[in-house]
Amino acid sequence: MARYTPENCTDIEDIVRDALQNETPLHITGYGTKTSLGGRVCARDELSLSAHSGITDYQPEELVLVARSGTPLLEIEETLDKNGQMLAFEPLHLNRFYDQPHPGSLGGIIACNLSGSRRISAGAARDYLLGFDAISGRAGYFRSGSKVMKNVTGYDLSKLMCGSFGMLAVMSEITLKVLPRPEFMTSLSVTCARLTDAQSALSAGFGSATEPSGGAIIKSGGGFKAVLRLEGVKISVKDRIASLSALLEKTGTLAVMSAEESLDFWQMMRDISCLQKGAEQVWKLSVTPSYAPQIIAELEAGHEVDYALDWAGGLIWLGGRGAELGEAVRNALARHDGGHATLMRAPEAIHASQPVFQPLDAALGGLQSRIKTAFDPMYILNPQKIELAGAADANAL
């Protein structure tokens, strides 16, 4: 049991090379805030990037920020905020959800591709990763991408790194596209008796020219509250709130939220505090938005569940209990246009009894395993964090 905390890229390379030579896999972490997310890593030694920290280049006028992978997310967000900018993908803050002191590192957010409410309008973490350098599981240093906005030179390996859960390479430096923070934000809530009506309100809002930057639904009283967020220059937001209110006046009871209310609401979504406390299990379902009410109705019929929706209905946070809930979730998705489900949090016995991520079909699973092998043939990096189909053979590639 060793714990390494390298402070620079060369040290990362040395640690990975040693691990490769000794065939001792590494658990790649930042601050360990998301250790509970994904499969249980099959490694005794830990490589923590927490000491590999700091913003190395920030050019607000170029909309570019470069930071070491262990830089705390909060440090990045504060620095951007001081300059009137932001991470447009609105990273999730999972510290409350996983009972951790802070939301972890930039590297962790990128590796897990954790995007918040603005995912639906502005894109995911993966859409803002312009470039990186890293040490592969072959102990080889490589770079991909750049510091410019538009780049199609070579394969877009940034996309692959985002959401790879540290299984392909250990990122050293991360280059992000950042955006100006909107000068004004407010939200319109629409309270409806039925979930389908709340979902229709979101669909109508996102299908209008009012450019919502977030669309969520929570249970409220005996009904449902759909909340649509509008951001931008003040004069524009005021105008769009009026248009949106006119559009949705027949779908439910409307209320324009105050700035504070609005801020609190979207922070609640960012922190996944939208579910009742103490749910035994929490699932993240990515679905075709219009099917969300049917999927929920089907699950409610057989299970006691709690839920909130984000991404205009395309994301369902689902709380529930019981060993058979997972299968019910995956079956419900299969009957409603596909999508995928991730077990975000559960007691160990339930966690161990089923796949955390959506199982893939043989063709796709095979490709995934071959991609893993292309970067990490000996399965040195975060083995089992994502369950991969089939066995890999270092000599096959």
Nearest distance in Å: CB 50, other proteins:
25
Tally of CB atoms within 10 A around 379? 20
If the CB atoms of residues 203 and 245 are measured against other proteins, the closer one turns out to be 203
Q: Does 386 bind other proteins (CB under 8 A)?
A: yes
Q: Could you say whether residue 326 binds other proteins (CB under 8 A)?
A: no
Backbone angles phi and psi of 77, in degrees to 5: -65, -35
Cα-based distances in Å from 55 to 63, 95, 151? 14, 22, 23
Stretch of residues binding other proteins (CB under 8 A), selected from 46-54, 142-150, 255-263, 323-331: 142-150
Minimum CB distance to other proteins, residue 371 (Å): 5
Residue from 159, 219, 303, 321 touching other proteins (CB under 8 A): that is: 159
Q: How far is the CB of 369 from other proteins (least distance, A)?
A: 9
Q: Is 155 in the site for other proteins (CB under 8 A)?
A: yes
To the nearest 10 degrees (0 to 180), the angle between helices 195-206 and 292-302 is 160
The region of 27-35, 150-158, 189-197, 247-255 touching other proteins under the rule CB under 8 A is: 150-158
79 sits near other proteins (criterion: CB under 8 A): no
Applying the rule CB under 8 A, the residues between 244 and 283 that interact with other proteins are none
Helices and strands counted in the chain (H then E): 12, 18
Q: Which of residues 174-193 bind other proteins (CB under 8 A)?
A: 179-181, 183
Q: Which of residues 202-231 bind other proteins (CB under 8 A)?
A: 203, 206-211
Q: Which of 15, 49, 87, 162 lies at the binding interface for other proteins (CB under 8 A)?
A: 162
Specify the residue, 48 or 373, whose C-beta has the smaller distance to other proteins: 373
Residue 354 touches other proteins, criterion: CB under 8 A: no
In the sheet with 64-68, reading across from the earlier edge strand, the strands are 55-59, 64-68, 169-177, 129-136, 141-145
Distance CA 354, CA 77 (A): 35
Q: 72 or 313: whose CB is closer to other proteins?
A: 313
Binders of other proteins: how many residues, by CB under 8 A? 103
Please state the length of the chain: 397
| Token representation of residue 56 | 């190395």
Cα angle, residue 337 at apex, residues 226 and 292 outer, rounded to 5°: 15
Among 2, 8, 10, 22, indicate the residue that binds other proteins (CB under 8 A): 22
Among 287, 361, 353, 299, residue whose Cα is nearest residue 329 = 299
User: In the set 65, 109, 157, 216, which binds other proteins (CB under 8 A)?
Assistant: 157
**Under the criterion CB under 8 A, does residue 168 sit at the interface with other proteins?**
yes
Each residue 84-123 as x (binds other proteins by CB under 8 A) or -, in order, gives: x----------------------------x-x---xx--x
**Of residues 218 and 230, the one with the C-beta less far from other proteins:** 230
Q: Report whether 356 contacts 343 (CB < 8 A).
A: yes
Phi-psi category of residue 123: left, alpha or beta, with phi > 0 → left and psi -120 to 50 → alpha: left
Binding to other proteins (CB under 8 A) within 302-321 occurs at: 311, 314-315
Q: How far is the CB of 32 from other proteins (least distance, A)?
A: 23
In the bound state with other proteins, the residue whose beta carbon lies nearer, of 63 and 255, is 63
Pairing of strands 3-4, 45-48: parallel
Taking the least distance from each CB to other proteins, the nearer of 347 and 390 is: 390
Part of the chain binding other proteins (CB under 8 A), chosen from 28-36, 48-56, 101-109, 336-344: 336-344
Alpha-helical segments (H) within the chain: 9-22, 73-82, 106-112, 119-122, 157-161, 195-206, 234-248, 259-270, 292-302, 325-335, 348-352, 362-375
- Asked if 174 and 69 touch (Cβ cutoff 8 Å), the reply is yes
